[in-house]
Amino acid sequence: MKFGVVIFPGSNCDHDTYHVISKVIGQPVDFIWHKETDVDRFDAIILPGGFSYGDYLRSGAIARFSPVMKSVVEFANDGGFVLGICNGFQILCESGLLPGALLRNRDLKFICEHVNVRVEQTNTIFTAAYQPGQVLSLPIAHGEGNYFCDEATLAELETEGRVMFRYSAADGQITDEANPNGSLRNIAGICNRQRNVLGLMPHPERAAESMLGCKDGRAMFLSMADALVQLLKARA
Amino acid sequence: MQITSEILAQHNITPDEYERIKQLMGREPNFTELGIFSVMWSEHCSYKSSKVHLRRLPVTGDCLVQGPGENAGIVDIGDGWCAAFKIESHNHPSFIEPYQGAATGIGGILRDIFTMGARPVAAMDSLRFGPIRDEESDESKEQTSAKSIARNRRIMAGVVKGLGDYGNAFGVPTVGGEVYFDPCYSLNPLVNAFALGLVRREQIFYGKAEGVSNSVIYAGAKTGRDGIHGATMASAEFDEAAMEKRPTVQVGDPFSEKLLLEACLEAMRSGAIVGIQDMGAAGLTSSSCEMGARAGNGVEINLDLVPQRETGMTAYEMMLSESQERMLIVAARGHERQVLEIFHRWDLDAVIIGKVIAEQRLRVTHKGEIVADIPNLALTDEAPKYNRPMKEFAVASEDVSPKIAAAISNLKSQISNLKSEADVTTELLRRLLASPNIASKQWVYRQYDHMVRTNTVVLPGSDAAVIRVKETRRSMAMSLDCNSRYVQLNPREGAKLAVAESARNVVCSGARPLAVTNCLNFASPERPEVMWSFSETIDGMAEACRVFSTPVTGGNVSFYNETEGRGIFPTPTIGMLGVIEDAKHITTQWFKAEGDLVLLLGATHNDLGASELLSVLTGEAAGAVPKLDLAEEKKVQEACLKAIQAGLVSSAHDCAEGGLAVALAESCFSSYGRTAIGAKIDLTEHARLSGLTDSTALLFAESPSRIVLSVKSENVDQVKEIAAETGAIVAVIGEVAGNNLAITLSGDTLANDSVADLERFWNGALPKSLERPLPTSEG
């Protein structure tokens, strides 16, 4: 099995994500250059955080036209697993793999801090290792993380159980105070209808080692690796 | 073009300097050549007023790989790894255009690091602004008027956003620093940006144009008209026409810089590069002549080949432009194409613009003509060196305790519900915690991504930031420090105190201090008292650095930080780097668990002079500065480090502004993973050992050489033994318990406050001043 981490010009968290997969959970992983178009050899692709194309025009607006994104969209439509973290989530929304958009933070400032995030659904390969309602401590670092979508989309996301994470208080309560950026319904992450594409603003790759103070993010990668191992066994 | 005296004045070249130029050239320079001399001989580039003093700094040591003279200093940190680090100022541009001034400040220092072959892994910044609180408004002085306060807030917000936006987009975590406020910085804010990078010893690169006939390549962003005379602007005071200097502020693009970083590192690893330097102050001019001078060669360039983003640029403009994100590279013979291809792959301009020549000259051609032809050394080593006149002034010696006692008395009569001693302490402690110099800086560092690259082990807020080195068990601790009030009142002692504090801060995180970088911010060197304070500062720094065995690896001097005759306090910002051999020794300042005992290393003396307490009570910066005994300081640091390395310490925090009471409160405050926790403190034994009875001094004096430790009860005896062996004074002063900070002395209650309550004052101070509508000006 192989994980792939895409590098766009301006991606910053590519190495962090690579490190978690190769060193922390010990799985094979390669970088994917933004000009590559053949992604067949991968089982899961991660769009990492950072400032692809300097956030020119809008975060993720230009990255979505990279040659590699055409292939990532096909990969996802064929059932391949795609995880978008922070800028990666923004790129997934710009490319239409996920609905909605990430607007400027309510308080108009970049925010870097640990927040509490409640796991809403565990029926995806990304969240299977968590408990429903479990509260995670994850770091955020963004200026444009304010999730927005229209009423119809919001209704769809809720009824189809596609809101995956919400910003919450330490006890799991969904409050305004716990919402760092003004996201609609405290939404921190969502998935697509097929449940094979997940986007989230918090950085699980920064919360995968106890040395860094918190490891609630590790389970997301482990969960992906476990699911892929099962899948490949089943195909073999 | 005739060189008139007016043109010389515009270029900040004195008549004497002009004579010297003619001598060195053997003829009159043309206009372009004059421009080149004006930037290379500017204070910022030539260090002409500081060189004679800087040579007294200690620059040797076992760990040193590269000392002052290159783009950054480099030290060996073990296992074949080296750390390249430096601090630089971008003060004048940040007053004129705060956002871009600060952004290009961090942009510049990052390039200085990766031009040495090191990937930047951490940044810090030391910032100084005028007052931002309405309470400090005083219409009798320009520096504290309501208009000034509004401007200071605007400058601060712009600077922080500029640093954040650039560092975040580039992808380097900003992990620490300091922020200070004083009226002297109202019209002269200081922005000192620090960066640190890692490089394998054998992969270090230097700014040398080696190999005659090797190609010289220009890589990165196109050249425009921004920043022309940026160096000259930074070498002069401001006057009313300051805003007209806007075009001299450079404009940064962190995305370009990120691409440049990746392309440069790739080119370096490929073996295709022989020498490289970033184009910083004085852009193409400084990089070409400095690279030539270091190699004992020369550089010839053709400006027709320089990528330009504006039409009709003259030779003068191109040589002086400070457009950002550009590098000058000398390619290994036969590898030119390889270098160009790497940069093109990253979508950056890269073009051969010249070659290395044997004659030690900078030769520039444009449109088929030689437009500049100057001996390299005339621009570098033979630039003027001034031993400017110095005038000693009396250092402050006043004992301010009576003043403070009177102010406290006053306070009691003004505020009716201050009945007991404890009430007074609570009030003073709240005011100190809410003072912007001491208050939480979270408003600032929340805007910086301090976690990117997943190496930040100790986040902002503790004594020093700690970055792990993934490939080893090692970590690096770093801190920026300067209490400029001390330096203003006693330059030599103030400088020693700054170095001591910086070393103490990294020791508290479990690191052995290794080496220093420094940013010396001063007013005009043409004023004899300022020049004397500079000389004294150097001597104080040198003495302290020798005692701690921390050589100075390089740094920056920023003169002319004054406006309309009023200058800043002398501000030598010290950047200390330390190494923690084993990650399990990484220590933070926060108490960890109920039941742990609290110890205090060191003694407290009647050091209320120049304190934050005095400033908060009377607005003054006055009095004899705290006495520093470097031998005592060293013993306290050794004891702390030995105890940490023996695995005996739960938390370590040094005492600084606000004294012991503030240090204790800060150790109690909430931290990641723990809510606020209290402590029961009894200072009786510590007072006895210190020979001090005055409670105000015990609580708020800023005596150096003191560290608050918290230790599991079963480890206390061993810690005391270590202190005894090292010769450091130590006293058990209490235990971590409850929710209050309770302090007693000989049976009297000095304080008993809810920590959560104190923390609210500490947390709320900066947002209170920075997140409200600006006051409307009345005229």
- What CATH number is associated with residue A41? 3.40.50.880
- The secondary element (H helix, E strand) that includes residue B638 is helix B630-645
Average pLDDT over residues B10-35: 95
Mutation target among B172, B451, B474, B772 for the A interface, most CBs of A within 10 A: B451
- The secondary element (H helix, E strand) that includes residue A16 is helix A14-19
Confidence class for position B56, pLDDT limits 50, 70, 90: very high
- The secondary element (H helix, E strand) that includes residue B487 is helix B484-489
The closest of B743, B750, B759 to B708, measured between CA atoms, is: B743
Give the active site residue among A13, A34, A86, A112. Answer: A86
Per-residue pLDDT at B779 exceeds 70: no
The closest of A164, A160, A156 to A121, measured between CA atoms, is: A164
> pLDDT averaged over chain B?
95
Residues of B with CB under 8 A from a CB of A: 161, 164-165, 168-171, 253-256, 258-259, 346-347, 445-454, 456-457, 459, 468, 470, 583, 672-673
User: pLDDT by residue (tens digit) across B175-224?
Assistant: 999 999 999 999 999 999 999 999 999 999 999 999 999 999 999 999 99
The closest of A71, A70, A14 to A38, measured between CA atoms, is: A71
User: pLDDT by residue (tens digit) across B444-490?
Assistant: 999 999 999 999 999 999 999 999 999 899 999 999 999 999 999 99
Q: For chain B, what percent of residues have pLDDT higher than 90?
A: 90
pLDDT value for B231: 66
Taking a C-beta distance cutoff of 8 angstroms, is the pair B576, B479 a contact? yes
Average pLDDT over residues B496-503: 98
Taking a C-beta distance cutoff of 8 angstroms, is the pair B568, B560 a contact? no
Residue type, A17: T
> What angle is formed at CA B260 by the lines to CA B258 and CA B264, rounded to 5 degrees?
125
The verdict on a CB contact (< 8 Å) between A111 and B451 is no
pLDDT value for B745: 97
Confidence class for position B226, pLDDT limits 50, 70, 90: confident
User: pLDDT by residue (tens digit) across B742-774?
Assistant: 999 999 999 999 999 999 999 999 999 998 654
Q: Which residues of A touch B256 (CB under 8 A)?
A: 54
A205 part of the active site: yes
Q: Which residues of B touch A36 (CB under 8 A)?
A: none
Tokens representing B728 are 């450091």
Domain interval for residue A113: 3-235
Per-residue pLDDT at B592 exceeds 50: yes
Q: Is A67 on the interface with B (CB under 8 A)?
A: no
β-bridge mates for residue B579, sequence order: B476, B512
How far apart are the C-alpha atoms of A92 and A73, rounded to whole Å?
A: 9
User: pLDDT by residue (tens digit) across B621-647?
Assistant: 999 999 999 999 999 999 999 999 999
Phi-psi region of B171 (alpha: psi -120 to 50; beta: other; left: phi over 0): left
Average pLDDT over residues B403-420: 91
Tokens representing A42 are 């991968």
DSSP A22: I
pLDDT value for B244: 62
DSSP A143: S
pLDDT value for B327: 96
Mutation target among B452, B466, B671 for the A interface, most CBs of A within 10 A: B452
β-bridge mates for residue B555, sequence order: B518
pLDDT value for B729: 97
Nearest to B449 among A10, A15, A112 (CB): A112
How close does chain A come to B288, measured CA to CA in Å? Answer: 29
pLDDT value for B242: 61
Q: What does each C-alpha distance from B159 to B99, B236, B522, B569 come to in angstroms?
A: 5, 21, 20, 20
pLDDT value for B98: 97
How far apart are the C-alpha atoms of B287 and B285, rounded to whole Å?
A: 6
The gap from C-alpha B290 to its chain's centroid, in whole angstroms, comes to 24
Per-residue pLDDT at B1 exceeds 90: no
Per-residue pLDDT at B356 exceeds 70: yes
Average pLDDT over residues B19-27: 96
- The secondary element (H helix, E strand) that includes residue B265 is helix B254-269
User: pLDDT by residue (tens digit) across B677-718?
Assistant: 999 999 999 999 999 999 999 999 999 999 999 999 999 999
Burial of residue B395, with CB atoms counted within 10 A of its CB: 0-12 exposed, 13-18 middle, 19 or more buried: middle
How far apart are the C-alpha atoms of A199 and B89, rounded to whole Å?
A: 40
Q: Please, what sign has the CA dihedral across residues B557, B563, B569, B575?
A: negative
Per-residue pLDDT at B146 exceeds 80: yes
Per-residue pLDDT at B245 exceeds 70: no
Tokens representing B60 are 């040797």
Average pLDDT over residues B74-88: 96
Q: Which residues of A touch B452 (CB under 8 A)?
A: 12-13, 16, 49, 141
pLDDT value for B280: 86
How far apart are the C-alpha atoms of B169 and A12, rounded to whole Å?
A: 8
Three-state secondary structure call for residue A34: coil
End-to-end CA distance of chain B: 45
How close does chain B come to A130, measured CA to CA in Å? Answer: 20
The verdict on a CB contact (< 8 Å) between B255 and A16 is no
- Count: domains in chain A: 1
pLDDT value for B778: 47
**Which segments of chain A have a pLDDT < 70?**
none
ipTM: 0.96
Compare all CA atoms of chain B with the CA of A12 and give the residue at the minimum distance: B171
How close does chain A come to B252, measured CA to CA in Å? Answer: 12
> What angle is formed at CA B572 by the lines to CA B569 and CA B578, rounded to 5 degrees?
150
Taking a C-beta distance cutoff of 8 angstroms, is the pair B149, B137 a contact? yes
Task: Give the DSSP letter string of B435-484.
Answer: STTTS--HHHHTTS---TTS-EEE-BTBSSEEEE-TTSS-EEEEEEE--H
Would you tell me how many other CB atoms lie within 10 Å of the CB of residue B469? 20
Tokens representing A225 are 């690796």
- The secondary element (H helix, E strand) that includes residue B82 is strand B81-89
Tokens representing B27 are 């003829």
A142 part of the active site: no
How far apart are the C-alpha atoms of A62 and B460, rounded to whole Å?
A: 33
Tokens representing B145 are 């008027």
How far apart are the C-alpha atoms of B753 and B125, rounded to whole Å?
A: 33
